Amino acid sequence: MDKLLFPILADSDRKLPLFVDIIGHWNNQESIDRQQGFSHYQWLQTTGGEGELWIGDKRYTVKPGQGFCLFPGVPHRYFAVREPWDVYFISFGGSLAKDLLDQAGIKGPGLYSVTDSEMIVAHLRGISAMAESGLPFLGIECSKLVYLFLLDLMKVVQVSTQSAEQYYNKLHPVIRYIEEHIDGVMTIQDLSSRIGVTPQYLCRLFKQLMGMRPMEYVNRERINRSKELMFLGREHKMQDIASMVGFDSASYFSTVFKRMEGMSPEQFKRMHGIH
């Protein structure tokens, strides 16, 4: 069933970090040709048929299960080549939109494969249901839902020919090794040898899946473990905790902790009432 909804937005709603402009579904997507682009970001998720997408002079063939993202002001056109071309879509804006898309690996308009098309469609259906609910504070409620949609998009967009799940399976032995040896000395060479790759390739895997370099992940795991120890072992001195999570000295532990948490370990303990 075709559906096109324009949530009623107050001026204050359009100042939210995210807002929904249009949400809908076409049983057979009509041809679109926008030489001046569109005013907001768009995500279109295909579930049947086949289409052709042009962004500038670049051509894409859009198959079921794929999605494409359009950026504001970028000329584009798309049309069905195998009907019916079934498409769910959302148009959204706000100051957070670009940053969240960027974190999902969507750094520009184009075609993207996803590992869970059904989840994306479920999000879009949920936003659509909210948009036509007539509930109070509709703009805020839709804003919350599009935020959840973009967070989940981070987990399912394929940033290369491999899926996020494949990346995780590849990295799992390294992550497990880090967890089991958090109190010991670890180097990038130690970690890369666990899965038989070069340090450079391991860095690329971590950046694509975790959004950080391997040794940054190690330090974050160490700091998280130290916070657990502060709560569960209140008798431990700071030097003991530093050693138990793999730091050579309490001073270096404190430096890393403050850089990551914005406060010293002692300030963290005071804030949480740990004596």
One digit per residue, pLDDT tens: the chain, 275 residues?
A: 678 889 888 889 999 999 999 999 999 999 999 999 999 999 999 999 999 999 988 999 999 989 999 999 999 999 999 989 999 999 999 999 999 999 888 989 999 988 888 999 999 999 999 999 988 899 999 999 999 999 999 888 865 444 555 667 788 899 999 999 999 999 999 999 999 999 999 998 888 777 789 999 999 999 989 998 988 877 888 999 999 999 999 999 999 999 988 999 999 888 888 77
Angle at CA 128, nearest 5°, toward 127 and 134? Answer: 95
| Full set of structural domains in the chain with CATH | 3-156 (2.60.120.280), 164-271 (1.10.10.60)
DSSP H helices, 157-198, are 164-180, 188-193
pTM of the model: 0.64
Count CA atoms within 13 Å of residue 222 on its CB side.
30
Cα(124)–Cα(120) distance, integer angstroms? 6
pLDDT digits (tens, 9 = 90+) for 99-125: 999 988 898 999 998 888 899 999 999
The pair of structure tokens assigned to 206 is 């971590």
Q: What's the maximum distance between 2 C-alpha atoms anywhere in the chain?
A: 69
Residue pair 254/193 in contact by the 8 Å Cβ criterion? no
Report the relative pairing of strands 66-70 and 110-113 from DSSP bridges: antiparallel
